[in-house]
Amino acid sequence: MTEEQAMQYTKYAAKKALEELDKQYAVHFDLVEKETSVFESKIGGIPYFPHGAEIPLDDDDNQLRFLMQINCSDIQGIDFFPKQGMIQFWIYPDDCWGMYENGYKVIYYDTISDNVVEPQISEFDEGDIEFFPLKGEFGVKFFGVTEDIPKNSIKYSKTFCKYFNEISGENIENPYDLRFKLKLSSAVLDEAVSNDNSAYGHKIGGSSDFCQYDPRETEEEKEKYNFQLLQMCSDFGGDGERIMWGDAGICHFFINSEKLRNCDFSDILYYCDCC
């Protein structure tokens, strides 16, 4: 098999697999350079903070830092997503982005009141500035997307191999066999597992992209945390870095879809990784 034939077979198998497998709906979002009010969906800056609210703390009583808020009325097309209120994401800016020591919190306000105050958030020190992923304040623009199944899923892997073997006469069991068994180039492997992968991007719902691995290692965990409440990627748009999770990483907040339907944010799986 020549390199050119291998690439043709790979493109064919990837296309057939994505066409055959079920698609899913997600709400993606882009960052917008604009001034935002405390009542809008936004990333960074001053959050919505109703009278009587408290800044969340970690186990050592350190203030968490405001990451993002979603005005629920902005999210369309996900039937179990709250129809009103505000969801906020807070993290502690250490070298693990608050994944440990109760260093993260998702807060839900079921109504949005005009009676707001400015939270008394402490000044950022040098460590906060170094590890906090946001490099500014941004508005967000949401849009619905129908996604292909992610290329890092087991279903895609099996279906890709079925079509590749059918057309090539080979007997690979995993797309990575293209590189490590058939000794084909990394370009062929990238076509199979990376190119046009809809898992990437800022989004609510949909498939998840990971730099290293899915923290939901068992089927039970995937069912328990079966909805991606937020995926926020590193972002290099505009005039430079706007969001940076370590070395170009990604963060995720997962929840159970039924708990989300019931506006129960007491059990969240938060995970970040980077290259």
What letters, b where the CB count within 10 A reaches 16 and e where it falls short, cover 165-177? eeebebebeebeb
Q: In angstroms, rounded to a whole number, what is the distance separating the alpha carbons of residues 80 and 241?
A: 34
* Dist. CA 210–CA 200, nearest whole Å: 8
Report the pLDDT value the prediction gives residue 25, as an integer from 0 to 100.
94
From first CA to last CA, the distance across the chain in angstroms is 33
In this structure, the number of other CB atoms found within 10 A of the CB of residue 213 comes to 10
Report the distance separating Cα 69 and Cα 86, nearest Å.
Answer: 7
Residue 131 backbone phi and psi in degrees, to 5: -100, -20
CA distances from 173 to 23, 119, 248 (A): 23, 55, 30
pLDDT of residue 130: 86
Q: What is the pLDDT of residues 22-72, one digit of tens each?
A: 999 999 999 999 889 999 999 999 999 999 999 999 999 999 999 999 999
How far apart CA 34 and CA 191 sit, in angstroms, is 37
What domains are defined for the chain? 3-273 (2.30.320.10)
Q: pTM (2 decimals)?
A: 0.88
Beta-bridge mates of residue 109? 86
Q: Report long-range pairs for 239-246 (Cβ below 8 Å, ≥24 apart).
A: 240/135, 241/135, 242/31, 242/134, 242/135, 242/136, 242/138, 243/31, 243/43, 243/133, 243/134, 243/135, 244/133, 244/135, 245/97, 245/133, 245/272, 245/274, 246/97, 246/272, 246/274, 246/275
Residue 154 tokens read as 């087991």
Residues in contact with 180: Cβ distance below 8 Å, sequence separation at least 6, in sequence order:
none
Q: What is the pLDDT of residues 100-118, one digit of tens each?
A: 888 999 999 999 999 999 9
Q: What is the pLDDT of residue 32?
A: 95
Question: Alpha-carbon distance 274 to 77, whole Å?
Answer: 30
Give pLDDT < 70 ranges for the chain. Answer: 238
